[in-house]
Homo-oligomer: A and B are copies of this chain.
Amino acid sequence: MTEVAISTREITYREAVREGLAEAMRADPDVFIMGEDIAEMGGSMGVTQGLLAEFGSERVRNTPISEMAIVGTGVGAAMQGMRPVVEIMYQDFMTLAMEQIVLQAAKHRYMSGGQHSVPLTLRTQGGAGWSPGAQHAEQLEAWVCHVPGLKVVYPATPEDARGLLWSSIYDNNCVIFFEHRNLYPIKAPVAEQLMPIELGRARVHRVGADVTVVATGRLVHAALTVAEQAAGEGVSVEVVDPRTLLPLDEGTILASVMKTNRCVVAHEAVVQMGFGAELAALIQEKAFDYLDAPIERVGSKFAPVPFAPVMEEYVIPHEADVMAAVKRTLARS
């Protein structure tokens, strides 16, 4: 392989999502976006700002507050071969559209014996840490990972957000694309030009030897900070972000754990029945003989997300929780 120098620039996660959308819309007139307040206002998180001006109101569509119809209309347009991208303002409100997601979008191809495809992308965001209260802080990736027919993507960096969004939009299946509210302002270098990232490939963010942390979303950054701290203490932490949760890149994850022999899984969602349960179940099954310690799970404590900042802080996971789990796993011999 010859190395090619790629010129980069710094953009935020928010800008990265926006670029992913804009590039996909420029490339194909069949791509259009729909959602609440995404046009003039540019979305409740400012992600779609400027897109109305560039693409016009036919392709940048404000919708009524009708989550079922937003998703379902996307399903229908996708069945006709378009590539709609719908936005559900907070992933909490996905709970209103689960029927259209699970019983319609995920199953039409299958139930039709392969006649349909549903190239729909559903973007949504969420995450606590800013006192949104219990009805604006859900993390529901575990639910959709239980549904054959869906793909599930959860990027943690600007580069991943941009490249994976492109691939999601051009995937011929329904992709649930999770963004994290608190990652929008983070900045990182991206390649000058959008580079698609294949779905189903994990990213090894940091190579390490002593313990693997498999993290998603906001917790990827927590894991990286912990890895840095741990390095100072002589512990070498490998950080892996699956990025695509379904289909999952088992190979990369298992290879890492087989090397380090210890594993921590971390996400913001509640631990119980969270995505970390699937990771732990899988890893213990396929890397049983390599494990020197139980797989530790990090996630929210078992409560809705409370409003008062002191309580919220207590419920959701932070770097310290990842560090504690890393230490617990290392303490086992």
Q: Which residues of A contact B (CB under 8 A)?
A: 92-93, 95-96, 98-99, 101-103, 106-107, 110-111, 133-135, 138, 142-143, 145-149, 246, 269-270, 272-278, 280-282, 284-286, 288, 291, 293-297, 302-304, 306-307, 332
Contact = CB atoms under 8 A, between A and B. Distances in A.
B110 A135 contact: no
A143 B101 CA distance: 14
A265 to B, nearest CB: 8
Name the residue in A103, A107, A148, A277 with the highest tally of chain B Cβ atoms < 10 Å from its Cβ.
A277
B302 A148 contact: yes
B272 A146 contact: yes
Contacts of A302: 148
Q: Chain A interface mostly helix, strand, loop or mixed?
A: mixed
Contact of A133 (B101, B111, B145, B297): B111
B280 A288 contact: no
Name the residue in A106, A288, A293 with the highest tally of chain B Cβ atoms < 10 Å from its Cβ.
A288
Nearest to A149: B304
17 contacts: A93-B99, A95-B103, A96-B98, A98-B98, A103-B135, A107-B135, A110-B304, A142-B142, A146-B270, A147-B270, A148-B270, A149-B304, A277-B282, A281-B295, A284-B294, A284-B295, A288-B332
Given A134-B107, A135-B107, A275 B278 contact: no
Nearest to A140: B146
A203 B269 CA distance: 30
B285 A146 contact: no
Contacts of A95: 98-99, 101-103
B288 A294 contact: yes
Contacts of A246: 272
Contacts of A143: 142-143, 146, 273
A296 B304 contact: no
Contact of A285 (B99, B106, B135, B296): B296
A99 B286 CA distance: 36
Contact of A306 (B92, B110, B280): B110
A142 B307 CA distance: 26
Contact of A96 (B99, B106, B285): B99
B304 A111 contact: yes
A106 B280 contact: no
Nearest to A139: B146
A34 B293 CA distance: 49
A289 B93 CA distance: 42
Contacts of A296: 285
A146 to B, nearest CB: 4
Nearest to A307: B111
Q: Which 7 A-B residue pairings sit nearest by Cβ, starting from the closest?
A: A280-B281, A146-B273, A288-B294, A95-B98, A95-B99, A277-B281, A277-B277
B272 A276 contact: no
